[in-house]
Structure 1
Amino acid sequence: MVYDAFVLLSFGGPEKPDDVMPFLRNVVRGRGVPEERLAAVAEHYMHFGGVSPINQQCRDLLAAVQADFSANGLDLPTYWGNRNWHPMLEDTVAQMRDDGVTHALGFATSAYGGYSSCHQYWEDIDRARAKVGPGAPQISKLRQFWDHPGFVGPHVDAVRQAWEKLDRRAGTRLVFTAHSIPVSMAQSAGPTGGRYTAQLEETARLVAAQAAPDLSYDLVWQSRSGPPQVPWLEPDINDHLAALAEKGVTDVVVSPIGFVSDHLEVLWDLDNEALETAKKLGLGYARAATPNVDPRFVTMVRHLVEERTAGRAQERLGTLPVWDNCPGGCCPAPLRRGSK
């Protein structure tokens, strides 16, 4: 297979206050979420001036990837397209078509399996290609990378650095977080059912073993967004901090292993809400960074490309199965309001 471009696939985010509500409407389209709920979430963005850092983080990552490609003789033009905000993927695909691209490799800014974190990017690609129409290039999504050394290593060092900020008392606990999803999605049947949680558990084990083998650790959840009557993965980070304080834990290192960059959900949910919860409970609190543009993470992107273009052997630290092309029936979409 000949590939002639690379495209960064991401979530997107507002870059000025007037973008916030239109962006949020894009995120929840088809879900019947009331405007008052969106207005409440919009306040999180307004806390940061109506700007999400994710778009700039994508620009920084793409620039680093471009430089790494050039330094290592990988001649692929690079593009970037988002699911929910500009640059929208369909506009990027149109530009790729106009530039003569026929088959691109896509790297999604999510390490794990699951509907929103993986399968929905395939839907994004299909929708964008359909909208562009004749001549739209093919896009093949690169594999998941939850156990790649280039993803695990930066998290390991970030946990160590966060731990150094605390007093290293006997009551310190390591807490890993990831985006919560509906329980029905986490337990979906089929060849890949349950892989989101299983992959996160493996990453947590790999990071903890290298970064803090003497610390007990937990995997908990953040950023829940569904209606209260629908069960989502628990415990929430804030509830878990309260439970740890009751057990005599004195300090926590919080590592957002579910994320590749310090975007708004990390900044709001962990650096704002969870930090405030920890202060009220009298817990020492240090939040570990995400990979962002760590050179190992950037190199990992090239290595994933080279697995497809040059037969490079997979670099993996874990034992769970991984797919280049997901099996049929993988990660079904959640039922929307009014769907059957």
Structure 2
Amino acid sequence: MNEPSHEQSIGAGSCSPSVLYASPTSSEGRAHTNEPQVYDALLLVGFGGPEGQADVLPFLRNVTRGRGIPDERLEEVAVHYRHFGGVSPINEHNRQLREALEAEMRARGIGIPVYWGNRNWDPLLSDTVREAADDGRSRLLALATSAYSSYSSCRQYREDLAAAVSDAGLRDRVIIDKVGQYFDVPGLIIAFAEGVAEAVRGFEERGTTGGSVRVLFSTHSIPEADADRSGPSELGLGRGGAYVAQHRAVAERIMRDLRDAGAVEPSTQWELVFQSRSGPPSQPWLEPDICDRIAELPREGVAAVAIVPLGFLSDHMEVLWDLDEEAMAAAEAAGLLGSRTPTPGIHPAFVASLVDLVEERMRGLPASARLRCTELGPWYDVCRPECCANARRGFAPAVAGITP
């Protein structure tokens, strides 16, 4: 664990920052809040997914709204959902996660309810915020099911929260803070490391060890321009911004812990790869693609690949289709042994770390006392003004960050 490397605040002499719908301590704009705060509900914020064949196209229209994509093109993606009966695993996972969070919070004596709302499908976030307010819950702490920094994985959720308050007509009635990005909490590292260790152990039982095993940490590809703008520019993280730096730091920590524990051999190599690209060919997205990379590995003496869905907290459709179907098929075509490791889901250590995040904010725990596993953490409680900019859309109103 480590001390924070970027404890920052608004510079002396600056005007008071504008942080939309924030609690008093968050409205000051400090990178990390260090005063106790009262919240009367936890708001679990998800992406959402269809739960039947009739939901698939309406769901995809919600995901792509404003982009003018015709239904014919959406059907090309819909076949992935239809392959699984039109049901995404996301909503069921969030139901399980909500129950697990409630149980862990009760065990710790945290007596607030957990509400759940989605960006793209029922229960929609604006309906959930209205429900909480109708129940008398007006001081909400939001926890998004996304651990890394980028427009789509952080800022867009903050915009969704601001829109939900506005759409529900609750601008003067509701306070919303958001838990910062939590890519390097101990429970996430533990959950992924256990999966890698089990995969490598399975390869060893089949006679494949050391340098002939490659660990591929996979995450969603995003446009290079969005990656470069992820996180605050003042950190100077270079190409790929915080999005790439955070994934690399987590993968490196997982492998270091496994080597130290003797669970993988020192010669076992790892790489960060990308999946699920959806943009036009003319637009640069993060590479290498996982399937392209798998096809190259036999020429490098690799005989087995452990595929780790590092960018996903649960079994999204991108995990079930792009990894379990396409990437595993690519491994078979290349003559490689393949194993896809589990997502954290409701692993007890991961759930415990999520509740730790809630307690940090409620207790006003200083950044120096928060448990994180890379030098990049703890990440910001209040995002910096231009953090995770979207070059095409500009800045919409967003909670939990200083207004640009």
| TMscore range, shorter length | over 0.9
1:248 counterpart = 2:331 = no
Question: Out of 244, 251, 266, which is 1:204 matched to?
Answer: 251
Question: Out of 325, 333, 338, which is 1:280 matched to?
Answer: 333
**Alignment gaps of 5+ in structure 1:** none
Aligned-partner Cα distance in 2 for 1:191–1:110: 23
Which residue does the alignment assign to 2:50? 14
Q: After the TM superposition, which of the residue ranges 185-194 and 201-210 deviates more from structure 2?
A: 185-194
**Matched-pair contact (CA < 8 Å) for 2:57–2:71:** no
Which residue does the alignment assign to 1:225? 278
Which residue does the alignment assign to 1:329? 386
Q: Give SS of 2:45's match.
A: strand
User: Cα distance, 1:333 vs. partner?
Assistant: 2.0
1:190 counterpart = 2:233 = yes
Q: Deviations over 1:218-252 (max 9, x none)?
A: 00001111111111000110000011122221111
Letter in 2 for 1:255: V
Which residue does the alignment assign to 2:113? 77
**Alignment gaps of 5+ in structure 2:** 1-36, 259-263, 394-404
Aligned-partner Cα distance in 1 for 2:47–2:265: 34
Q: Give SS of 2:66's match.
A: coil
Q: Deviations over 1:106-147 (max 9, x none)?
A: 111111111111111110001100001135522211011111
Q: Deviations over 1:243-287 (max 9, x none)?
A: 112222111111111111122111101100001111111010011
Q: After the TM superposition, which of the residue ranges 216-225 and 304-313 deviates more from structure 2?
A: 304-313
User: Where do residues 1-340 of structure 1 align in structure 2 (5 Å cutoff)?
Assistant: 1-134=37-170, 136-166=173-203, 167=206, 168-170=208-210, 171-188=212-229, 190-191=233-234, 194-211=241-258, 212=264, 214=266, 215-312=268-365, 313-321=369-377, 322-335=379-392
**Matched-pair contact (CA < 8 Å) for 2:43–2:116:** yes
**Matched-pair contact (CA < 8 Å) for 1:93–1:136:** no
Aligned-partner Cα distance in 2 for 1:329–1:147: 22
> CA 1:207 to 1:213, structure 2 compared with 1: closer, same or farther past 3 Å?
farther
Q: Percent identity?
A: 47
Q: Deviations over 1:79-103 (max 9, x none)?
A: 0000000000000011011011111
Letter in 1 for 2:302: V
Letter in 2 for 1:149: P
User: Cα distance, 1:35 vs. partner?
Assistant: 2.3
Aligned-partner Cα distance in 1 for 2:173–2:297: 52
**Matched-pair contact (CA < 8 Å) for 2:249–2:374:** yes
Letter in 1 for 2:373: L
Aligned-partner Cα distance in 2 for 1:164–1:190: 41
Give the aligned length: 336
> CA 1:94 to 1:213, structure 2 compared with 1: closer, same or farther past 3 Å?
farther
Q: Give SS of 1:290's match.
A: coil
Letter in 1 for 2:80: H
User: Cα distance, 1:334 vs. partner?
Assistant: 4.3
User: Cα distance, 1:31 vs. partner?
Assistant: 2.0
TM-score normalised over the length of structure 1: 0.96
Aligned-partner Cα distance in 2 for 1:191–1:91: 37
Aligned-partner Cα distance in 2 for 1:191–1:124: 25
**Matched-pair contact (CA < 8 Å) for 1:191–1:329:** no
**Matched-pair contact (CA < 8 Å) for 1:94–1:136:** no
Of structures 1 and 2, the larger Rg is shown by 2
User: Cα distance, 1:213 vs. partner?
Assistant: 5.3
Letter in 1 for 2:285: W
Aligned-partner Cα distance in 2 for 1:239–1:124: 34
User: Cα distance, 1:61 vs. partner?
Assistant: 0.4
Q: Say what the alpha-carbon RMSD is for the aligned residues.
A: 1.4
Q: Give SS of 2:233's match.
A: coil
Letter in 1 for 2:372: R
User: Cα distance, 1:320 vs. partner?
Assistant: 1.3
